Amino acid sequence: MPDLSLILPLAARNALRNSRRTALTALTVLLGTGLLVVGLSWINGIFGQFQREAARSTGHVRVVSKAWAEREALQPLYENIPDTAPVAAAIERIPGVTGVYPRLLLGAAMAPEDGEIGDDFALMVGAPLAWHQQVMGLDERVASGRFFSEDDGARKGEALIGKALAAQLGVDAGQDVIVLGRTQDGSMSDLRLTAVGVVDTGNGLYDKQLFIDLEQARWAADIPDGALELLAYGDDYGGADALDLQIEALLADGQLAREAGLPEGGELIAQAWNHREPWVSALSLFDAIVGIVVSCIVFITALGVLNTMLMSVLERTAEIGVLRAMGMQRGEVVLAFVFEALVISVVGGLLGVTLGSLAALAMGQTGIDLGTAASNLPDTMPVNRILHPAWNLGIALRAFGLGLVMAIVGSTTPAVRATRVQPVQAMRSRR
């Protein structure tokens, strides 16, 4: 059993022995951990935003008819949930559920009141006022005009138009929009809506949509009490998997599907946001990118540590020989060098994590404006125009831990090399 009370103080003293080299090693670890904090904060900020927006726009968990899910791209409106109320009520009773909202996403041709219909197509998002307000926060994103009316009757003819769509149609706040959609049986369905407000969501996907009241959308699609989706939200989108399981349990016996008026054999299914494309692929990609970035930084930093530790070992061959001659075991020699690197890395890591955190927090204040680039992303990716790094304590701790990994990886080879020093080397070192 190695005597740590002997090895640790020796390692600490050796760490301070060559101040220039120690500073160089600490600086390497400082840069590595600092880069990790900044890099991970950016990745977390960018992908976290993707995920948050995805979970927000699609519901932490959504309930749809299985038939709808299977052919979603074709928009088979007739595969709707005819009566959402009993299902929503059942889900609302699950502890931790903060809201359940029916929603209809309807593709439609749109035109300004004096324009020609058929050139412009967009998604019409029909949902309750609470969803527009509490989930999407559209009331705080009105660029011109106003938010929906509180009065149910007045709200029916109103729409909020995304900034990009407004520009595309040439519509300003207060002007009418002509919408040509279809009902669930395939008939044409026309609407004349007043764009009471233009919303600037800062998100390329939402800015191309038209937001309307749920009842208006139900009327347009001729689904009087139903919806295409029921979006359920919990406290945090990270808990979607757990919520998904609970909702699946509710749906398992088919009773709710019958209460919702689904045809014989129809099934309701629950889907957590992160179990649906493109998020399944995006999350795998995210993990891969994090893995690659982290591995590269750890590898390069470890190489720096290896370089300086190897110099230490070569310089101290005689000394290691003496320690071995005096009876120090191989394992103790390895530990002495690894601990020495760890001591230096703790100092470098603390400084690196502190500086990296300050840098990430400072960059979080300004962010990077993608400008028009964000609006060219596919409609399935809800990307915000301005991206921010998102620092958190977990990132700082992770970077610090990885700093120690860099030290261990970088010092193991030199330490093993040190164990190859034979006791007889002590005799060979002569001035």
271 vs 317, beta carbon nearer another protein: 317
Task: For the CB of residue 245, give the shortest distance to another protein in the complex, in Å.
Answer: 54
Beta strands in 253-348 (DSSP E): 268-272
Q: Give the residue, chosen from 154, 252, 285, 424, that forms a contact with another protein under the rule CB under 8 A.
A: 424
Give the residue with the Cβ less far from another protein, 267 or 315: 315
For residue 374, the minimal CB distance to another protein (Å) is 57
Least CB distance to another protein at residue 327 (A): 2
Q: State yes or no: cis peptide before 382, omega within 30 of 0.
A: no
Q: Could you tell me the CA-to-CA distances from 382 to 58, 109, 238, 387 in Å, in that order?
A: 10, 22, 17, 12
Q: How many helices (H) and strands (E) does the chain have?
A: 15, 12
Taking contact as CB under 8 A, which single stretch among the options 87-95, 151-159, 255-263, 420-428 is the one that binds another protein? 420-428
Query: Rounded to an integer, what is the distance from CA 57 to the centroid of its chain?
Result: 14
Q: Output 6 or 373, the one with its CB closest to another protein.
A: 6
For residue 67, give Cα distances in angstroms to 63, 79, 237, 396.
Answer: 12, 6, 25, 45
Whole-number Å distance between alpha carbons of 134 and 191:
26
Scan residues 289-348 and list those touching another protein (CB under 8 A): 318-319, 322-330
The closest of 103, 106, 102, 101 to 75, measured between CA atoms, is 106
Give 288 or 427: the residue with its C-beta nearer to another protein.
427
The span from the CA of 164 to the CA of 171, in Å, is 10
Cβ proximity of 30 and 400 under 8 Å: no
Nearest to 323 by CA among 429, 186, 224: 429
Q: Return the amino acid letter for 316.
A: R
Shortest approach of another protein to residue 23 CB, angstroms? Answer: 17
Interaction between residue 285 and another protein (CB under 8 A):
no
How many residues bind another protein, per CB under 8 A? 26
CA distances from 323 to 10, 142, 425 (A): 11, 74, 10
Q: Which is nearer to another protein, 66 or 330 (CB)?
A: 330
Q: Rule CB under 8 A: which of 9-68 touch another protein?
A: 10, 13-14, 16-17
Q: Provide the minimum distance between the beta carbon of 46 and another protein in the complex, in angstroms, as a whole number.
A: 47
Which range binds another protein by CB under 8 A, 171-179, 190-198, 373-381, 422-430?
A: 422-430
Q: What are phi and psi of 220, to 5 degrees?
A: -60, -35
Least Å distance, CB 8 to another protein, is 12
In total, the chain counts a number of residues equal to 431
**Interface of this chain with another protein, residues 229 to 248, rule: CB under 8 A:** none
Task: Return the number of the residue (271 or 419) whose C-beta is nearest another protein.
Answer: 419
CB of 324 to another protein, least distance (A): 7
Binding footprint of another protein on the chain (CB under 8 A): 3, 6, 10, 13-14, 16-17, 318-319, 322-330, 422-424, 426-427, 429-431
